[in-house]
Structures are given as structure tokens and as C-alpha cells.
Amino acid sequence: MDAETDKLREDIHQVLYPPDHPKYQGLAAAKGYSQDYSRIQKVRYSHEAMIDMIIADPMIKQNELAERFDVRPAWISRIIGSDAFQGALAKRREDITNPFLVATIEERLKGLAMHSIDVISKKLEDTNNADIALKSLDIASKALGFGARDRGGQVQNNFIVQMPQKANSAEDWAKNYGGGNGQVIEHQNFSSTATRNPLEQPSNMKLAEI
């Protein structure tokens, strides 16, 4: 168990290693890059973009990088030959090849949740405690999506509509609620528009005089 703990601690620490960590020092010289000239001490966004290209295409040539960044090949060689660049490149490669680092946060949380459930289950078997059982049920239910969740405050809007009273006739309705003198523009029934031209005015329709 101690060995597994130490390995986990090392993996976590590796995430926190900066590119200028002593672990990454001397990589440029070890790869045969001369250190006689001045080298960059810190990678910038353009250097990070170059690292992305190298990761995506490990066989890319320095001349191709020079063309893409519109610089001289000598400048590319000076950048790549620095410990700062080689350290950042090595760390990026470790980040994408280490299984622990590749695992998503969700996968890690799932693993932690499963381990926690195992511990709680073992504790429940050993103690047969009702409080632990209820707490375990609550945790498991929430993890599975059951039970009440906090959805935030709900706003309820109440609308009151006052309905008019029933009128005895169309004239009474127009007089009481139409705002006029009770005169109805159309007060005779006529056949449905399904059997006539809807643009044609019926002969029995009376129009109000204005």
C-alpha cells in the first residue's frame, strides 16, 4: 500500500513540476545542442505553438518550422536547443503519455467514488449502524441522480383575469363592454365562408353608419 501511495504522490507532484524543474535541466546538451550561444530562459506562446506542432508531427523539420513561423532556420535551432524549450517539450510529452495524467477528472472522481463506496460498505458491514446506512443511502442516491436536488428558487406568477358578466344579447354586450352606444355592426347570421368567396360581402350584412 505504501508503494502505491508513493507512486500516486509522485504522479501528483509531476503535474506540478514546472518546465524549469531540475529534472528537465541539461536535456538540450544531452541531445547534442551546443550551448555556446545565448539561449531562451523561458518559453512564450510562440514557443508553445511550436511544441504543439512537434507533438502533432514528430518528424517535422526545422526548415518547415521556420517557414511556418516566417523566421530563419538558425532562429528555430537556437530556440529548440535551449533547456527551457526542451524542458517544456519533455513535460508536454509526459503529460500526454502518462496514464495518470491522461485520465480525465471525471474518471478520477469515478474511481474515488467507487473506492469510497467500498469503504462505506465495509464500515456498514462491520458496525451495522443505522446512521451510517442512512448516510450511505443518501450519498448513493445523490450519486445516482435520485432524490431532491437544489434547483434554485422557483418563481410563481399569479395572474387574475376578471371575466365580464354574461350579456343577454349582442346589443347589451356592445353597450356594456364595447364603449359605444350599443349599435352592432353585424347582427344577422349568414352562411359559412366555406361556401362563398371570403372577399365577397354578403347581401344581408348591414353596416353601421359612420
10-residue averages of pLDDT along the chain (210 residues) = 59 56 72 73 86 89 92 89 86 73 62 74 76 71 58 60 64 65 50 53 56
My answer on whether 41 and 63 are in the same domain is yes
Q: What is the pLDDT of residue 125?
A: 79
pLDDT of 68 reads 92
Specify if 150 maps to a domain: no
Is 59 domain-assigned?
yes
pLDDT digits (tens, 9 = 90+) for 88-99: 888 888 777 766
Q: 109 and 97: one domain?
A: no
Residues 65 and 94 both lie in one domain: yes
Number of domains in the chain: 2
Query: What is the spatial distance between Cα 42 and Cα 21, in angstroms, rounded to a whole number?
Result: 12
Residue-level pLDDT at 1: 47
Domain boundary, last residue among 143, 166, 199:
143
Same domain, 86 and 134: no
Whether residues 37 and 81 share a domain: the answer is yes
Classify residue 19: in a domain, yes or no.
Answer: yes
Q: What is the 3-state secondary structure (H, E, C) of 73-92?
A: HHHHHHHHCCHHHHHHHHHH
Residues 97 and 119 in one domain: no
| 89 shares a domain with 24 | yes
Q: Which pLDDT score, from 0 to 100, does residue 114 have?
A: 74
H or E element at residue 94? helix 83-97
Looking at the fold, whether 82 and 133 belong to one and the same domain comes out as no
Instruction: Please indicate, yes or no, if residue 79 is contained in any of the structural domains.
Output: yes
pTM for the model stands at 0.39
The answer to the question of residue 55 being in a domain is yes
Would residue 149 count as lying in a domain? no
Q: Which residue has the cell 535551449?
A: 82
Choosing from 70, 102, 134, the residue where a domain stops is 102
Same domain for 87 and 115, yes or no, is no
Are 33 and 52 part of one and the same domain?
yes
Give the dihedral of Cα atoms 54, 60, 66, 72; nearest 10 deg: 110
Does 183 map to a domain?
Answer: no
Residue from 162, 159, 116 nearest 135 by CA: 116
In contact, 141 and 133? CB cutoff 8 Å: no
Domain ranges, residue 95: 14-102
DSSP conformational letter for 30: H
For residues 29 and 78, state if they share a domain.
Answer: yes
The verdict on residue 188 lying in a domain is no
DSSP 97-143: H-HHHHS-HHHHHHHHHHHHHHHHHHHHHHH--HHHHHHHHHHHHHH
